[in-house]
Chains A and B, each alone.
Chain A
Amino acid sequence: MEPAPLNISAYVVLSAILFAMGALGVLIRRNAILVFMSVELMLNAANLALIAFARFYNQMDGQILVFFVMTVAAAEVAVGLALIVVIFRTRRSINIDELSRLKD
């Protein structure tokens, strides 16, 4: 007999783990680029969940949504990295803890 195929819960839990790790990265790293990469990891975890749901509900919409997420991520990375470069150029640092002028 064919072994039972993987349940969707496995993928969702994996996705949650990756998401939590990405969030952890955002919370504990001070380097702006690393924070940014952690955000990418979170997006990616969400994508995984979407694809899994698309597969198990047999709907294309999840995949299309992933497609759009990737596109938006690409745009976000372009602008975000440009911002980081500008910040580095003006402040000679990308430590986000030093970017605390907002409170003043």
Chain B
Amino acid sequence: MGLETFLFIIVGAVAVAAAAGMLFSKSGIHSALFLVLNLACVAVFYLMLSAPFMAMVQITVYAGAIMVLFLFVIMLLGSERIDLGLTDRRLGFQTPAAFALAVLFIVVVAAAVLTGQIPAPQPVNDVQATTHGGPGEVGAVLYTRYLLPFEMVAVLLLAATIGAVVLARDVIPTKRSQRAQMGRIRELRQMITTIETEAASAPGADGEGAEEEAAAPAPAAPAGE
């Protein structure tokens, strides 16, 4: 067993364990930390797959920035509110079905891959591999061939930033908007009153109308009669 295989088994086991920990831990904080561990393990895989730049990005952006944001929101909303929810009174069949599907998924993929039906390419030799995913290479491809997607992603990030700000900001009702709201409510009330009055005073009201009238609250009725 080579070093790579050994490392793969160890780190893979940790990754799977961390994912399981994330799934079944009772505290949201613990879940997030397990996910961080899982992300770090995947970063190690990136290194093994000669993608050092992506590994670093994984650590800084994913395990760093994104997970901190998660932790921040969990703490903001209160971690005690995060319940496990495995026992569900409404959707009893959900959990066993989910487990079955997950296992089935793994089995199908593993069967397809391990029986060698997917043509597995031979790994490149190590000399090429060492210069494979450095920042320089990534940058050279990113800023030439993928320049347009790169720019579009920049716009996407900007849109997401604005979206997050707009969503999360506290909308404080201004005097003007309050007044507008009140006006709208008054209009609606008036409309309801008018309709009720009309319904009540309609001469040949059919059966349904009569029922509604009977069910309608009293205040409007005297005016009609």
Q: Which residues of A contact B (CB under 8 A)?
A: 2-14, 16-25, 27-31, 33-34, 36-38, 40-41, 44, 47-48, 51-52, 54-58, 60-61, 63-64, 66-68, 70-79, 81-86, 88, 93-95, 97
Query: What CA separation (Å) do A28 and B38 show in the bound complex?
Result: 19
Query: Which 8 pairs between the two chains have the least Cβ-Cβ distance?
Result: A3-B2, A75-B160, A30-B85, A27-B98, A16-B109, A82-B167, A20-B102, A82-B164
Other A-B contacts than A44-B38, A74-B157, 18 sampled, CB-CB below 8 A, are A3-B5, A5-B4, A13-B106, A14-B8, A23-B102, A25-B23, A27-B95, A27-B98, A28-B95, A36-B70, A41-B22, A55-B132, A56-B120, A63-B53, A78-B69, A79-B160, A79-B163, A82-B165
A17 touches B106 (CB 8 A): yes
B218 within 8 A of A: no
Among listed B75-83, B174-182, B191-199, B205-213, interface-contacting one: B75-83
Query: What CA separation (Å) do A13 and B113 show in the bound complex?
Result: 7
B70 touches A29 (CB 8 A): no
Given contacts A44-B62, A74-B65, contact A33 B98 (CB under 8 A): no
- Within B31-86, which residues are at the interface with A (CB < 8 Å)? 31-32, 35, 38-39, 42, 45-46, 49-51, 53-54, 57-58, 61-62, 65-66, 69-70, 73-74, 76-77, 81-86
B20 within 8 A of A: yes
CB distance from A10 to the nearest CB of B (A): 6
- Give chain A residues whose Cβ lies under 8 Å from the Cβ of B133: 54, 60, 63
Query: What CA separation (Å) do A86 and B203 show in the bound complex?
Result: 50
